Amino acid sequence: MKPDLQKLEPYPFAKLKDLFDDVTPAPDKTPIALSIGEPQHESPAFVLQVIEDNLSRMAKYPTTAGMPELRSAIAGWLNNRFKLEHVDPGQQVLPVNGTREALFALAQTVIDPVPGAQVMCPNPFYQIYEGATLLAGATPYFINCSQDTGLLPDFDSVPKENWQRCQLLYLCTPGNPTGAVMSYDQLKTIIELSHEHNFIIASDECYSEIYPDDSAPPTGLLQACSQMGDPNFRNCISFHSLSKRSNLPGLRSGFVAGDADILKPFLQYRTYHGCAMPIHHQLASIAAWSDEDHVRINRQRYREKFSHVLKALHGHLPVTQPDAGFYLWPQTPVSDTEFARGLYREEHLTVLPGRFLGREAHGLNPGENRVRMALVANLDDCIEAAHRITRYLSRL
């Protein structure tokens, strides 16, 4: 058995199950889950129709590189969304079966497990970053995200010797769980560091299409490269998904894009790993990436939920509108685990303790005394959840 498997912590939802093992939820209330970031809005009907119309394509093996038409649709979306001049669909784009497996697989491709090899990531973080690092034979270096740094990683706190040991840096912008978005200037600084110390940047941008102002979308890593005059996206890879953007988590469809010199060996790794996307999923993905109307409607639905929930929580819980994404990341008046247990016991409402998404690093776990709330349920349930929270708070 691979010994590095012993280094993996239980996944946050396994920890949540253990936390609730001895708790009986209020029997008079229907359950509401704000703990898991699984979109609950309906999937676009036109995308589902493409799948139905092409089920016969399951008789064909798909290629790992994906259909040229899909890579072209993705490149076109990238060019339009991030104001890029020309993304090469043949060399700078690779379809993947959701960003989760691709974020994991990239580390297995690019990490040289020499003594002292490090992979950096924000803290708190999406747990795949840590698992991918450990199983690639490297050591994670956690960069804390605090209120003082706008809930973004405190890159200034990283010693130079750690940058020198860094082989891969995971970014998450918009952040999970914080919702914080990195600016062009911040991305530019990190890109310059990657050039100086020769590490790869993997930017997880799967929440990039859920934001409050249609006229101010979040900046992406490749967009920052382009504005710096680098159409080759040296050392930079971005990850995007249809799960959140298009309410298609079960499609398992996303892509990676960026430095062709990284994507070429990544494709070879994936070919051996057996990660080809089914053809009918590729065709459905073309339809989804080619349409923005359903994405604008989706954003509006999240805006409506944020508006009602934040209004209901105002004056009861210290929480603010995130820069982007669909999470709230409030501070709790008691420990995050006690807060989650109490809500589950008294209100049959599930939230995720922030400490489960963070690690003790540099003297603290920045997830402690916060909880993550995913506003993925329908509007009425989100409003009801907010009222249950205020009732629970009134009893503390």
- Cα–Cα dist 367/365, whole Å: 5
Average pLDDT, the chain: 97
Percentage of the chain exceeding pLDDT 70: 100
- What is the amino acid identity at position 238? S
The angle, 0 to 180 degrees and rounded to 10, between the axes of the packed helices 128-135 and 99-110 is 30
- Cα–Cα dist 70/57, whole Å: 15
Which residue, among 119, 66, 129, has the nearest Cα to 92 in the 3D structure?
66
Structure tokens at 181: 């978005």
- Stretch 321-337: mean pLDDT, rounded? 98
What does the pLDDT look like over 342-367, one tens digit per residue?
Answer: 999 999 999 999 999 999 999 999 99
Using DSSP's 3-state secondary structure scheme, residue 18 falls into helix
- Stretch 38-51: mean pLDDT, rounded? 97
Domains of the chain: 3-42+294-395 (3.90.1150.10), 45-291 (3.40.640.10)
Using DSSP's 3-state secondary structure scheme, residue 252 falls into coil
8 Å CB contact between 98 and 244 = no
pLDDT score for 113: 96
Query: What is the DSSP track for 54-120?
Result: TGGGGGSPPPTT--HHHHHHHHHHHHHHHT-S---TTTSEEEES-HHHHHHHHHHHH----TT-EEE
Percentage of the chain exceeding pLDDT 90: 98
What does the pLDDT look like over 121-170, one tens digit per residue?
Answer: 999 999 999 999 999 999 999 999 999 999 999 999 999 999 999 999 99
Judged on CB neighbours under 10 Å (0-12, 13-18, 19+), 117 is middle
| DSSP letter (8 states) at residue 35 | S
Which helix (H) or strand (E) covers residue 304, if one does?
helix 293-313
pLDDT tier, 72 (very low <50, low <70, confident <90, very high otherwise): very high
- Cα–Cα dist 134/127, whole Å: 11
| DSSP letter (8 states) at residue 153 | B
8 Å CB contact between 306 and 375 = yes
pLDDT tier, 18 (very low <50, low <70, confident <90, very high otherwise): very high
pLDDT at residue 2 above 90?
no
- Cα–Cα dist 54/50, whole Å: 6
pLDDT at residue 370 above 90?
yes
- Cα–Cα dist 220/78, whole Å: 10
- Cα–Cα dist 376/230, whole Å: 37
Give me the residues paired with residue 257 across strands: 93, 238
What does the pLDDT look like over 293-323, one tens digit per residue?
Answer: 999 999 999 999 999 999 999 999 999 999 9
8 Å CB contact between 290 and 80 = no
